[in-house]
Copies of this chain bind each other. A is one copy, B any other.
């Protein structure tokens, strides 16, 4: 019988082996006394199994509150646990409840993070995964291999009318942008109702496409309740749009999958709220595991933060996330990493040096909008940055060679 496995980074005041067994027990049989009906045969078939234990460092302070160590030592380890596919079948929410459910409550752990998960081949028959992925997003935007899609976010995040937004979109389309998105704070607001915004923006985008043959991909933020999301989705399809965006943590897995399953629009997955799931080194879930869940749900683009970002996350962590997204899952399930947060092009050389990929959606906000030569200069500068990055140039070398990127360095590079 196929098995699903999960790897955890744990910390415990007890013996690692004993703590691992508590986890396996809680997440399969799960009660504090033996009860009638729990036969050895049942245990054998349905019990979670501890597959491996790799002992790591010992520390003298617990990472998070839990049991107090009798020895004053807290042991860390990487452990791998597996479950029979029989336990939950092809049901992602129940798989999540098993792999990252009550186990965070277990007092035997003073730290627990789900680092990775492996699903069996039969998942490929039940979960179609991203309908567009990297290739599909390139096709929809007409961006050939060899450079990232260049994108931006409408700012201010909130407050602009549909007409003001459409005017900005027109300027950005003419500037040569590939992709634009709503902010995650903007769904349907008093001054920018969803349908009116779609009408105003798609008019501009369709006109530009008719004229130039290039259709800018606009990710409309459809995040809402189920019926409203489907209604918004219909509106985008009917208006000739190519993409919808969801705040995946806020909407939740069942809602996101219900939208992804429709398959008519590329799905831009915004991971806002991610920090609460990941920021502590010994609590929550690592991006390696997280991105697999959302690829199974079917998102086409997934946020990964960016090198030298404005947030707390380290470059190593961002690189790890990009690599995670680009590693095939079940032989495919391509998802496009969305690089954003304080990006202006100056990070392109380092991003390419460390990841050796251009299969990215590279997003800049102020880096494009506030470029000294206007948005057209900003978009040009970003393309130049990536050309230089692929050629192995440094930021300074790209700046010397390309005037628009030179202006970016003058304006945005000083504070770095």
On A, residues with C-beta under 8 Å from B are 27-38, 42-43, 45-46, 64-67, 86-89, 91-94, 96-98, 100-107, 153, 155-160, 164, 168, 183-185, 187-191, 221, 223-229, 247, 249-258, 270, 272-277, 279-281, 283-285, 305, 310-313, 341-342, 365-366, 369-370, 412
| In the bound complex, CA of A160 to CA of B45 (Å) | 11
Known: A42-B156, A94-B185, A159-B46. A32 touches B342 (CB 8 A): yes
A410 to chain B minimum Cβ distance, whole angstroms, is 13
A89 contact from B160, B188, B305, B412, Cβ within 8 A: B188
Contacting pair A225 B31 (CB below 8 A) = no
Which of A37, A45, A250 has the largest number of chain B CB atoms within 10 A?
A250
Q: Given that A104-B273, A255-B253 are known contacts, is A189 also in contact with B88, CB under 8 Å in the complex?
A: yes
Q: Which residues on the B side are within 8 Å of A247 (C-beta)?
A: 93-94, 96-97, 101
Given contacts A30-B157, A32-B342, A158-B87, contact A276 B104 (CB under 8 A): yes
- Cβ contact of A155, chosen from B38, B92, B365, cutoff 8 A: B38
Q: CA separation between A86 and B89, bound complex, in Å? A: 43
- Name 7 A/B residue pairs within 8 A (Cβ), A-sorted: A31-B365, A33-B412, A35-B365, A45-B159, A64-B280, A104-B274, A106-B311
The copy count of this chain in the complex is 2
**Interfacial chain B residues near A168, Cβ < 8 Å:** 37
- Do A279 and B155 touch across chains, with their CB atoms under 8 A apart? no
Q: Considering only CB atoms, which chain B residue lies closest to A165 in the complex? A: B37
> Which B residues are CB-close (under 8 A) to A155?
29-31, 35, 37-38
Q: Does B156 contact A46, Cβ atoms closer than 8 Å? A: yes
Closest to A221 in B: B94
Q: Kindly list chain B residues whose C-beta atoms are within 8 Å of the C-beta of A183.
A: 30
How far is B309's CA from A107's CA once the two chains are assembled, in angstroms? Answer: 10
Chain B min CB distance to A115 (Å): 13
B279-A283 in contact (CB<8A): yes
Residue of B nearest to A29 (CB): B156
Establish whether residues B311 and A89, one from each chain, have CB atoms under 8 Å apart when the complex forms: no
Nearest to A314 among chain B residues (CB) is B65
> What B residues does A185 contact at CB under 8 A?
27-28, 30, 87-88, 94, 97-98, 101
A94-B223, A226-B258, A252-B256 given; name 9 further pairs at CB < 8 Å: A30-B157, A31-B366, A42-B159, A46-B156, A46-B158, A94-B250, A97-B272, A104-B275, A254-B254
